[in-house]
Structure 1
Amino acid sequence: MLINNRNLLRTKNRLLLEQLNQPSTIADEKIVIEPSKVGIPTLKLNVEGKWKYIHSKYDPNKEARRTFEQFELSNDTEHVIIFGVGLGYHIQLFIEAFPSITFTLYEPDLDILAYCLNNYSFEKNNRINTIVHDKTELYNELAKLTDLHGNSIKVLALPSYMQVFKAELDDLYEKMIDILKNKKNHLITNVSFQKQWTINAIKNFSKVLKTPNIFKDVNNLLFAGKPAIIVAAGPSLNEEFDNLRYIKENGLAYIFSVGSSINSLIDEGIYPDAACTYDPKEQNQIVFKKLKDKEIDNIPLIFGSTVGHETIEDYPGQLLHMITSQDTVATELLSGLKNHKIVLDAASIAVVTFQLLVTLGFGKIILVGQNLAFQNKSMYATGIDYHSNFNIDNEELIKVEDVEGNQIFTNQTFNYMRKQLERYTTKVTDQIVYNTTVGGANIKGTTYRRLIDIISADLTKSEVEPNWFRYNSNYDLDYSITKIQALKKKKKDLIKLLNDAKNKINQIESTLIVNADQIEARFQKFDKVFGKIKKNKFYLTFISPMIRVQLEKLAEISRQIKLAKDYQVKTNLVSEHFGNIIVEIESALTFISEELEKLEISIKEVIRTKNDD
């Protein structure tokens, strides 16, 4: 391998370098390097017994120039993925033509890549982000690139690669679309919930203090190796009420309801061993209206700590909690959380509950009513009347495979939930996961079995401990008070830093200095102050989670500011965008200050109540 390429891989992809260093014999029957008509080398590849030219057999350089001329690059393109390195004729052409763009090289054939790196030197390697061959590496790189460049990524594929490696190219495009969709969903979720997560975390904190942590306070040995059922609200649930009733009456498995299924179960007189909830929206309380109206007090509720606070305010039964990944308040104010689990936020309560059951150590996890698709134009099981305005004709439908290999209709939301659930079902090693949902979407990592068959073969004895949830909270309340006092001091520091940052912006705006070094020094002083703001503990705990979308946009703008050569342009960008973010911070700070006072009072009330007991 040429020394320039070896140095490039040593810094960019050491694993690939080690792979290429392994002894390898390229069979003549697969790859042939031969002179083109103009004398420079060209390459042909044996594809299923037929020779396919990767480069022109007449003039590879001319072909590369023609590819370059046909390639359309928009002004906002920041990064190009070159699909297929071949012998490298096209690569140097593009790197030299676009000096402000960075590149990732992806070669699906390791033998072609090895030959290229042995014979073609990537001299301008500072512009090559990395070289990848493995699909997993490519997908990881795509995730990083989309975080950095968003939609400003373009794929360049040689015409020959479009034909010879069509499946790999289709995979690349599909993965890019998935990542961008996930990024969009992530953005939509953050826009919708960024303030609610923090507000709920604060308002729920006194309930968190008073209720047992399902991971920390409850004896998890009660669940070790036991069977558990996640009951979702899909239309297939209608077929399983008798089976679930039999399981409940005989204690054959722990039953956890998720989402709206609690209403269907209540209508059938089947009370789950626990209901689970995590949705931060105010409307989430509607799910439990029937239970509250009936004053049912013997169904424990396991709530995520950022759930809509209205949901748990007047819940009649036992409450338990799990700390969610969106809760920056509990992780700062609670003692003893470092060695205990949290659940990662997800698109569906079923995904959160699956994490919960895996962490608790259940041996079998059985999915019921997890359709994630439509059944006879129905979206929900019976007993759920607050989605009556649903109309399948208004949905953008896509086809997926069901549990028996048939094609069924779903929508983007259900499909996203399924893919997210599969991230967990495909990775568990200590659990067997059964999907019993008749007519539901196939979920990778699960085995389809009818629930009646599982009952007769596997659920043959009583497994449920009736009072498994009868535990007390064990948090250090004095620790929480001490933490709040410390945060109030950090709030004062933050206010001073914000005033200092505004002064620094005013100095930049009003400067009459023409010396470039002096102007740059003022920008550096502002950067130093803003850096302190970002490290402030009050800001990190309460403020930044509430404005995460604005901060992501600011990070994108910051790249433009760093690249700006004109100091007036740079000044305008700093003044506008950092000025706006300071206003956002001050607005959030005013709101949080009021809530923090209420929080301190509620903690002291919990302490008084505990002392009285």
Structure 2
Amino acid sequence: MSLEIDVSKDGYKILKVNIDDKKMYLGSKYNQKREIEKFLSNLDQITEKDNYVVFGLSFAEHIEELLKITYENSKILIIEFNKELKEYCKKDLKIRRILENPRVTLLEDNDDIKLFFAENINEVNVNQLQTLIYGKYLKVYKKELMKTYYLIRDELISVILVRNTGIVSGELRFDNFLRNLKYIAKSTMVNNLRGKYENKPAIIVSAGPSLSKNIDNLKNVKNALILSGGRTLTTLMEKNIMPNAIGVVDPADVSYRLVEKYIDKINCPLIYNDQIHPGILEKHNKNNFITRINTFLDDLWDEPPYILSCGGSIAHSLTVLAIYMGCSPIIFIGQDFAYTGERGHDISSGNRWREWGFDEYKRDDDIYVEDINGEPVRTSLLLNDYKKSMEQIIDACPEIEFINATEGGANIRGAKNEKLSEVLKKLDKYDVVDLNEYLEKEDKTKIIIEKLEESLKNFNKYIKLCEKADRLLKDYKQSYNIKNDKKLYESENALNKVDQEIRRNLEELYILNFALSRMIYEVESNNEFVINKNDSEKVMFKKNVERSAAIYAGIKNIVKECYNKIENTVKELKENGDGK
């Protein structure tokens, strides 16, 4: 491909490319201005929450126009596949000024996509990301464009997963957290396991469709840590295989139902986060290691509990745990990340109360990826996202050997494919130390009660601040309506001071992070409050005031509701714990 610059009849630079010995303009030889207008006409309604991904740099005239008509806080990621054109544009003074605009990012490598999403795309504005294709870029660069589009899609899925799991279940997570505090008080930090299994093998047992092919090989294994999620606990116990630890991180009721038959019959530790289903801790409340999500726990011990949450599934958390403990090799079984044999889980690890058929797993947007034998295998966008997350974990630990001993499923980049029977033959014969050896006997009930009581004091302050802000908002709105500029100015200054105080000390409400997150998401993503480019000044004022009122009312209501819940938790801890 060679670079050739021409000028359109209406005076714009246009690029002519040589594709397979055929000359083609990326714009219009006769009316390039119309090409730019066509590009802009593909925009959805312009809002303050918009960000843009643009395929095609050309000579940046369309980018210049896009910058003019969109909001100052909106960011633009430009993806250009012609390296010669990119270098030309960087040297051209006029184009360089456009590219140096802080709102603009020109993609240099795929890491820029991740960075763009990390800095600009979140749970609130993910639905407002607009993807645009300039000129004939889809026709000329279809293969490259689709490959990059899939990378963008993967990032979108990751953001949406965070929104759907963290925000949507916010109230459940908070309620579980409070109910779990009496068990957390007597748990041991997972930090005690740091580096304790240097160069010892760990086997991560997952519930993928291929698990039954080699799970029997784990019988009588004493020279490797067997780390299992909750879904595979029943399978292991029914085969008389005792794991070294069970990990649970899901707050939902299904996580309890998966383990309820055996969780009180195992002697191995439970590795859990602070928001799991309380029924699990009620049945297994003696030898537990805690990892945290809620920052409320950070100063209960000399150092914050190590965070294992990563990647979206218990397999990721257990892999991070194995890395933290110093394990190598780390061996995966049942880690299909795919619908091997048109199954969602292994036949031994489904929901015993109601098994799903494959029709309930498969979706129209399923994709095919390469399996361990180089053949296509069906998977979902979610499972593929999990696979990519695991590959990122592996990439970050080149000093550790990862082995995929799953006898089926998607190929995991960075993990060597090998039969479990062969892997076990090569391991040292020495038994691994029981994780129970690293438990500590301590009780943090008293300090938890003190921290909760301090939170209640902060809650009262925030209720009063939100009530004050609500009164000031009404004054502000009235001053605007009667066009009293002096009162409007005074109300605005007073409101800004209260708003700053609320935001400045918002960290005092960190215990409510998950409870608040859903409310804030619902307000910020409510189309009634989103400002559009064609809104009048009066409409913008109304939306801003009503959005602020909804947030203040939401904070006040949640704080009041959670005040009662925390008060009851303190009472229970004082009655049942050592915090009297």
- Scaled to the shorter chain, the TM-score interval is 0.7 to 0.9
The 5 A counterparts of 1:114-513 are 114-119=87-92, 121-122=94-95, 129-135=103-109, 136-147=111-122, 149-215=125-191, 217-218=192-193, 220-247=194-221, 251-292=222-263, 295-315=264-284, 318-323=287-292, 325=293, 327-331=294-298, 334-338=300-304, 341-344=306-309, 346-378=311-343, 379-382=345-348, 384-386=350-352, 388-394=354-360, 395-396=362-363, 397-456=366-425, 458-466=426-434, 468-473=436-441, 479-511=447-479, 513=482
Give the SS at the match of 1:529: helix
Which residue type is aligned with residue 113 of structure 1?
K
Question: Which residue pairs with 2:547 in the alignment?
Answer: 577
The alpha-carbon distance between structure 1 residues 361 and 601, as it changes in their structure 2 partners (threshold 3 A), is farther
The alpha-carbon distance between structure 1 residues 542 and 55, as it changes in their structure 2 partners (threshold 3 A), is same
* Offset, 1:383: 5.8
Q: Rg: which structure is higher?
A: 1
Does the aligned pair in 2 maintain the 1:303–1:322 contact within 8 Å? yes
TM (norm. structure 1) is 0.82
1:112 counterpart = 2:78 = no
- Per mean C-alpha deviation after superposition, the further-off stretch among 193-202 and 223-232 is 193-202
* Offset, 1:365: 0.8
Does the aligned pair in 1 maintain the 2:268–2:435 contact within 8 Å? no
Question: Which residue pairs with 1:23 in the alignment?
Answer: none
What fraction of aligned residue pairs are identical, expressed as a percent? 22
Does the aligned pair in 2 maintain the 1:197–1:280 contact within 8 Å? yes
* Offset, 1:313: 0.9
Does the aligned pair in 2 maintain the 1:494–1:536 contact within 8 Å? no
Which residue type is aligned with residue 128 of structure 2?
S
Does the aligned pair in 2 maintain the 1:108–1:133 contact within 8 Å? no
The alpha-carbon distance between structure 1 residues 562 and 501, as it changes in their structure 2 partners (threshold 3 A), is farther
Give the SS at the match of 1:210: coil
Does the aligned pair in 1 maintain the 2:201–2:327 contact within 8 Å? yes
Gaps (5+ residues) in structure 1?
Answer: 1-28
* Offset, 1:291: 0.8
| Distance in 2 between residues matched to 1:73 and 1:343, nearest whole Å | 41
Does the aligned pair in 1 maintain the 2:529–2:544 contact within 8 Å? no
Does the aligned pair in 1 maintain the 2:245–2:270 contact within 8 Å? yes
- The number of aligned residues is 567
Deviation readout 1:22-74 (Å, 9 max, x if unpaired): xxxxxxx9434466788876544455776655556x55xx2342353364222
Does the aligned pair in 2 maintain the 1:231–1:370 contact within 8 Å? yes
Which residue type is aligned with residue 178 of structure 1?
D
- Per mean C-alpha deviation after superposition, the further-off stretch among 192-201 and 537-546 is 537-546
* Offset, 1:258: 0.8
Question: Which residue pairs with 2:42 in the alignment?
Answer: 72
- Per mean C-alpha deviation after superposition, the further-off stretch among 436-445 and 371-380 is 371-380
| Distance in 2 between residues matched to 1:93 and 1:488, nearest whole Å | 52
* Offset, 1:370: 1.4
Question: Which residue pairs with 1:10 in the alignment?
Answer: none
| Distance in 2 between residues matched to 1:175 and 1:449, nearest whole Å | 29
Question: Which residue pairs with 1:6 in the alignment?
Answer: none
Gaps (5+ residues) in structure 2?
Answer: none
| Distance in 2 between residues matched to 1:569 and 1:377, nearest whole Å | 53
| Distance in 2 between residues matched to 1:243 and 1:399, nearest whole Å | 29
| Distance in 2 between residues matched to 1:303 and 1:380, nearest whole Å | 23
Deviation readout 1:462-515 (Å, 9 max, x if unpaired): 241136445214576654444334323212211221221121123234336414
Deviation readout 1:305-344 (Å, 9 max, x if unpaired): 2111121112276222222x3x13323x523234x52222
The alpha-carbon distance between structure 1 residues 48 and 133, as it changes in their structure 2 partners (threshold 3 A), is farther
- Per mean C-alpha deviation after superposition, the further-off stretch among 117-126 and 202-211 is 117-126
Does the aligned pair in 2 maintain the 1:322–1:343 contact within 8 Å? yes
| Distance in 2 between residues matched to 1:336 and 1:156, nearest whole Å | 51
Deviation readout 1:56-109 (Å, 9 max, x if unpaired): 6x55xx234235336422224644444333334544455556688764443333
The alpha-carbon distance between structure 1 residues 296 and 51, as it changes in their structure 2 partners (threshold 3 A), is same
